């Protein structure tokens, strides 16, 4: 299941049963939940096919074939084209190839760039849209440790959920129907109960989303000093408000659960990348490589590549100067009523231009929309405080003379009180609530839009973006163009200087295989982390009633009694998670980790904090994949949830113990 949709999954039965991570199914489970049936809080286990729930927006895509189309795509590029023309020509060819390979909608095809546009491959998928929820543990199991434990080891999270893929009677993709049947796959993974030992071989297949292993030192500096800090600041503001209300209100917690999870994961990821890119001296190592590369260029008269690094330095310098004028206003302009007001911009602009036809068409579109949907899955007190705090965050990031027009209004009309401004907008703005919007659409007066504070807020933020956008686009274009040349040069450099070195392309949401082994690691002087953690750690971390470290009483009782059944290791302990040296990134979530026999031994779900720089530079001594042990998965399904119908469906294997050979004592 490719991560063009977000995660990876694996088929584990002849009846289309699919395992993936708990956090991968989180959004679907949240949408299926209600105050009466909160499956995030209480879990869900279908006892038979009839109880399985259609998962909203969930699809399962299977790779049918892949094809090298480099010659086709690059064949449309001519020497007289500038870079923008080259990009346009290649995109057109890629689209042509995708349309042809789709066979009138039978398949989903996409052409992907590799090595910064130096190679191209096409991937053809069969996409199944009838996917149903079969089982998921309580969030207190599937998300045990919350944001505190995210990216950390040891980890005691049962990060798995279970779905089933359905097809029509011929095994083809079909929209949801009661007549659909469970998919019969070409292959399903057997499951091993043998467990893991240090140095065991491991392999992971999946769809890693994005790495930047060929990023220049200038790009790293830009991310650490400019891009990541801005996103950390903005997302941190949103998360702080959400958590304030989520921790005390179950209804709000359910409503914002999926949004919070996505923001929190990115927020902490960027914090970790900032810290570890510095600590692991990744920029310095890139500088050393670039010095060697430059010497090779000069020694071999490789003039084609000589300007790439200087141009990247200039481009990233330009990005650093303009980026905050893009990121901050972009997010603030989307906040609450300001974001809704943007949908009325075309109608108001037609009014200003006295274009009656466009005005009538725009109004017709507005009057046909479902206003209540604009406020679905939101709570006004959360939204209003977020609205105010985002304005405060923006103000703190800029000099007074750089602030857009909306702050002059706040100063003049509200004495600089942003909270009072937010109260007024939510009460009186056309876009402050559903009732106000409905009243306006019933008796539209476009003149009022231009005086509306939410609309002024949106347009004043957009003005900042519009002014900065030409410089931003030019810089981004220069980065893309020169990255293409730089990576082309690097490949030639390595071929000439280190011919034994194999270069692999960056992750781009296409199928990859990563091999490694089960290993411990030492994150710091005198600190050693074992390669497994046990259920005893759940007892050690357990805090009754805590937002992140609560756990179900039944689980605690089973662990205290050591009632682990067939899922205990040779010492009678229950392994929850284990470490491996596999190279993964976002998109690999839910990927199967297998032994050398191709048997499932766990599900990959995270990386470790000390190697958060790994998307830019792989760290062999430090980098580890955190996997939930399949024995813990089966323990939760069987001993905790009692879903033995699912256990019976799986192909579970255990190696027979080898007999001990006793030689007869010679007389």
Total residue count of the chain as it appears in this document: 667
Query: Looking at 130, 159, 200, 452, which residue is catalytic?
Result: 159
The alpha carbons of the chain give a radius of gyration, in whole angstroms, of 27
Query: Looking at 61, 318, 589, 591, which residue is catalytic?
Result: 589
3 state SS for 161-230: EEEEEEECCCCCCCCCCCCCEECCCCCCCCEECCCCCCCCEEEEEECCCCCCCCCCHHHHHHHHHHHHHH
Q: Which two tokens stand for residue 467?
A: 């002014």
What are φ and ψ of residue 559, in 5° steps? -70, -45
State how far the Cα of 29 lies from the Cα of 32, in Å rounded to an integer. Answer: 5
One-character DSSP codes across 599-628: -EEEEEEEE-GGGGGGGTS--TTT--EEEE
Can you tell me which residue has the tokens 């995030």? 40
Residue 557 burial class via C-beta count within 10 angstroms: exposed 0-12, middle 13-18, buried 19 and up: exposed
Query: Looking at 23, 156, 188, 260, which residue is catalytic?
Result: 23
Q: Is 159 a catalytic residue?
A: yes
Judged by DSSP in three states, 110 sits in strand
Q: Give the chain's count of helices (H) and strands (E).
A: 25, 21
Judged by DSSP in three states, 77 sits in coil
State how far the Cα of 451 lies from the Cα of 446, in Å rounded to an integer. Answer: 10
Q: Is 589 a catalytic residue?
A: yes
Q: Which residues of 622-652 are buried (b: 16+ CB within 10 A; e: fewer)?
A: bbbbbbbbbbbbbbbbbbbbebebbbebbeb
DSSP 307: T
State how far the Cα of 334 lies from the Cα of 383, in Å rounded to an integer. Answer: 12
Residues with active-site annotation:
23, 159, 589
């Amino acid at each position: 299941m490719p991560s063009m949709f977000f995660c990876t999954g694996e088929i584990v039965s002849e009846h289309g049963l699919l395992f993936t991570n708990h956090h991968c199914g989180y959004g679907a489970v949240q949408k299926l939940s209600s105050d009466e049936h909160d499956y995030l809080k209480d879990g869900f286990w279908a006892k038979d096919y009839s109880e399985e729930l259609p998962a909203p927006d969930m699809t399962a895509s299977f790779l049918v074939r892949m094809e090298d189309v480099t010659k086709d795509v690059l064949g449309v590029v001519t020497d007289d084209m500038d870079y923008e023309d080259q990009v346009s020509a290649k995109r057109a060819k890629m689209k042509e190839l995708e349309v042809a390979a789709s066979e009138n909608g039978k398949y989903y095809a996409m052409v992907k760039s590799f090595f910064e546009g130096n190679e191209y491959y096409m991937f053809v998928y069969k996409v199944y849209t009838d996917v149903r929820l079969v089982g998921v543990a309580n969030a207190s199991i599937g998300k045990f440790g919350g944001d505190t434990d995210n990216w950390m080891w040891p980890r005691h999270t049962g990060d798995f959920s279970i779905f089933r893929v359905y097809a029509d009677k011929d095994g083809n993709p079909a929209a949801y129907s009661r007549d659909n049947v469970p998919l019969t796959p070409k292959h399903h993974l057997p499951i091993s109960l043998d467990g893991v030992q240090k140095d065991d071989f491991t392999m992971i297949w999946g769809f890693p989303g994005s790495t930047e292993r060929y990023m220049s030192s200038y790009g790293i500096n830009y991310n650490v000093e400019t891009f990541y800090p801005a996103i950390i600041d903005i997302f941190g503001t949103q998360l702080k408000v959400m958590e304030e209300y989520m921790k005390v209100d179950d209804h709000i917690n359910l409503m914002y659960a999926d949004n919070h999870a996505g923001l929190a994961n990115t927020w902490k990821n960027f914090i970790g990348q900032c810290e570890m890119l510095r600590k692991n001296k990744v920029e310095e190592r890139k500088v050393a490589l670039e010095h060697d590369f430059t010497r090779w260029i000069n020694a071999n008269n490789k003039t084609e590549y000589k300007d790439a690094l200087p141009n990247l330095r200039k481009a990233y310098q330009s990005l650093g100067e303009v980026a905050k004028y893009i990121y901050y206003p972009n997010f603030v302009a989307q906040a609450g009523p300001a974001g809704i007001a943007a949908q009325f911009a075309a109608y108001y602009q037609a009014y200003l231009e006295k274009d009656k036809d466009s005005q009538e068409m725009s109004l017709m579109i507005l009057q046909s929309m479902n206003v209540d949907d604009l406020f679905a899955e939101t709570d006004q007190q959360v939204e209003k405080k977020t609205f105010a705090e985002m304005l405060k965050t923006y103000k703190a990031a800029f000099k007074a003379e750089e602030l857009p027009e909306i702050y002059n209004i706040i100063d003049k009309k509200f004495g600089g009180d942003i909270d009072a401004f937010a109260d007024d907008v939510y009460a009186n703005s056309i876009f402050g609530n559903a009732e106000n919007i409905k009243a306006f659409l019933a008796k539209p007066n476009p003149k009022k839009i231009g005086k509306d504070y939410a609309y002024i807020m949106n347009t004043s933020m957009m003005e900042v973006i519009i002014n900065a956008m030409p410089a931003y686009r030019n810089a981004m274009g220069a980065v893309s163009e020169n990255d293409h040349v730089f990576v082309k040069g690097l490949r030639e450099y390595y071929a000439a200087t280190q011919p034994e070195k194999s270069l692999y392309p960056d992750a781009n949401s296409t199928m990859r295989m990563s091999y490694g082994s089960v290993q411990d690691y030492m994150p710091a002087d005198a600190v050693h982390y074992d390669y497994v953690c046990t259920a005893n750690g759940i007892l050690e971390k357990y805090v009754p009633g805590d937002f992140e470290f609560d756990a179900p009483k039944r689980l605690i009782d089973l662990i205290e009694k050591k009632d682990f059944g067939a899922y205990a290791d040779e010492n009678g302990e229950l392994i929850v998670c284990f470490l491996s040296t596999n190279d993964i990134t976002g998109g690999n979530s839910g990927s199967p980790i297998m032994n050398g026999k191709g048997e499932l031994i766990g599900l990959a779900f995270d990386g470790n904090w000390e190697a958060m720089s790994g998307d830019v530079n792989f760290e062999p001594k430090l980098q580890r994949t955190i996997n939930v042990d399949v024995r813990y998965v089966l323990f939760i399904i069987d001993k905790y949830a009692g879903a033995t119908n699912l256990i019976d469906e799986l192909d579970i294997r255990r190696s027979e113990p080898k007999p001990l050979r006793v030689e007869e004592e010679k007389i």
